[in-house]
Structure formats: C-alpha cells, structure tokens
Amino acid sequence: MKHVFIVIVNYFSRNVIAETIKRLDGEKVTSFSYTILVVDNSGEILSDKEINTFSNVKLLGTGTNLGYCGGNNVAYEYIIKNKLTGDIVICNPDTFFSLNQINEIVQKVKEWGVYTLPAVTPEGNIMYTRIRLKGLTQKIYKETQSEDFCNSDYCPGSFLYLKLDEYNPLETLFDERFFMYWEEVDLCINIRKLGGKCCFINDVGNIIRTPNEREWIYNASYYYFRNSFLIRQKHESMFSKIDIILFFMKSLPVFAIKTLYLKKNRLLKNIICGIIDGYKRRYGIRLR
C-alpha cells in the first residue's frame, strides 16, 4: 500500500493545523496510508494534548524559526534518516485539500517529480492553473487547461506533491539561504534539471488557498526582491542580468503602489534592504 507523508510547517498556526488534522481524520481512505508530520517552528504545539492524541501525527520541534525552507527540510531529513518510503505532500497550514484528491494523485502520478493542483480562493475565484516564467517575471494562467498533466515552470509552494519513493536523487529539498520566497522555484528547477516532471494536475479538483495579502506583502517586500539575486546566482544559465533588471522594472511599481495604498513606509525600507542584501549576497533569515 502506498504511504504518503503530509508535511505542515507551523509558525503560530496551531488552531488552523488542528482543524486540518481533525478534518483529514474524518475522511476515510483505504487505498493509501498517511502520516502527518507537523514541524513546529514556534514551539507552541510540541506538547499539545489534542494534537498528540492522533496516532498518525508526528510532531517535530526545531527550537527556532527555520522558515518554510528549513522547516520542510527537517521533515524530509526525518524521512530519510529513518529510511521511510512514500510520496510527500508539502502544504501551508491555510491550504485546504481532501484525502480523496491525494488518492487520485497517487493513482495518476507515475513519474518522479513535483506536482500541484490549480488553486481557488474560498469564494471560488481562480488564482492559477499554470505558471510560466519569462526570465524572472511570471505569467499566471487562470484559464482551464485542457491537458490532465500540464507542464509548468514551477509549482507554488502552498501545495507540492513530491513523488520520491522510486527514484530520489535529492539529498535535501530546499536551499535554506532563501528562508522564504523563490525556494519552490529553485526546487522545481533542480528537479527539472535532474529529469523530473514539474506539472499541474488538472482533473482532480482544486486546492483552496486563503489569501493573506497584508501579511504577504510585508514578508515579500524584503525576501521577494533579495532572493531574486539568489535564484539568478544559482541558475545563471537560465536568468541573465537583463532578466533581473526587467524583473525590478516590473515589480517595483507594483510594490510602490501597494506602499502608497497601505501607507507603510516600512515596505519601501524592506524593498531597499532586500535589494542591498541580495546584491551583497547576504542570505538566510533576515537578522535586522
């Protein structure tokens, strides 16, 4: 029987994660087994009595905030160290999916690689069905794709299905220098370079993502710009100096408008600091 590891990184999202665990526990599947690995970056749920009552949930403490990259790497290292086998689902706490969808993915996916599903908002508005990169700028497709498996330049990190049990050349998943933002692009590029698939699956329904624009903009205003230097540094054969210039030309006006709308000068400061740190190759968690 196929086994699937569902990885969720916690950072002060205890209630949402508890609801997800209870919801999935109420869904019955017999075609695969699963374990939920909760990586606790905030230290709030390691001793949580309610969550610890579920036999198929494993809590992994980090002792500090390792971000999306480091947190998911902790779970991956746990799987590798204990010589466990199975496919891996990486999802954000506020991403909603069903075990039936996982079951359909398990049945359909035959080739090693990374996969995802189209996403909608809780109101049903389509967020994306495919993503293509032109340099460092991205084109978001919202139209229904005709192919069941649709090649994509990368899969968004809110929901990743990694088929790794039969062929797995990855020693780790994410480069922790990213901390957050662009890390899933780097992972998908690495998998594609190794001959793996990178696809949207379009016939098993959508995931539901809860938009958090205000929190996103504060984090992205630093890491989004800084890590564009890192992704270009790591994959110079794909991204040129012109690409990063065009990326800034297209992205900076968008963030400038958001800065004016939110009336928060901190956003502008974050952007400037991100560009400076990226240029000077200062990566990892922001220390100031």
**Does residue 267 sit in the same domain as residue 170?**
no
Domain boundary among 169, 189, 209: 209
Determine, yes or no, domain membership for 288: no
- Most distant CA atoms of the chain, gap in Å: 54
Same domain, 96 and 217: no
Structure tokens, 285? 């968690």
Residue 275 covered by a domain: yes
Residues 126 and 95 in one domain: yes
Shared domain check, 251 and 125: no
Determine, yes or no, domain membership for 8: yes
Is 287 inside a domain boundary?
A: no
Residues 203 and 222 in one domain: no
CA distance 82 to 260: 50
Residue 286 is assigned to a structural domain of this protein: no
Residue 284 lies in a domain: no
Task: Tell me: do 128 and 156 sit in the same domain.
Answer: yes
- The pairing of strands 137-141 and 130-134 is antiparallel
45 and 126 belong to one structural domain: yes
pLDDT value of residue 217: 73
Task: Provide the pLDDT for residue 263.
Answer: 65
Residue 263: give the domain boundaries: 213-279
Within-domain flag for 203: yes
For residue 112, which of 190, 36, 34, 202 has the smallest C-alpha distance?
190
The residue ranges of the chain whose pLDDT is under 50 are none
For 117, left (φ over 0), alpha (ψ -120 to 50), or beta? beta
Same structural domain, 107 and 232: no
SS3 70: helix
State the pLDDT at residue 215. 62
Are 227 and 278 contacting, i.e. CB atoms less than 8 angstroms apart?
yes
Q: Is residue 186 part of a domain?
A: yes
How many distinct structural domains can be found in the chain? 2
- pLDDT at residue 146, rounded to an integer: 80
Here the CATH number for the domain that contains residue 25 is 3.90.550.10
Nearest Cα residue to 180 out of 279, 74, 72: 72
Q: Do 243 and 136 contact (CB within 8 A), yes or no? A: yes
Whether residues 252 and 137 share a domain: the answer is no
Last residue of a domain, one of 182, 209, 236: 209
Domain-terminating residue out of 191, 209, 227: 209
Question: Would the pTM of this model clear 0.75, i.e. be above it?
Answer: yes
Find all residues with CB under 8 Å of 180, minimum gap 6, and list them.
Answer: 67, 68, 69, 219, 223
**Both 30 and 136 in a single domain?**
yes
Same-domain check for residues 177 and 226: no
Same domain? 220 vs 205: no
Give the pLDDT of residue 212.
66
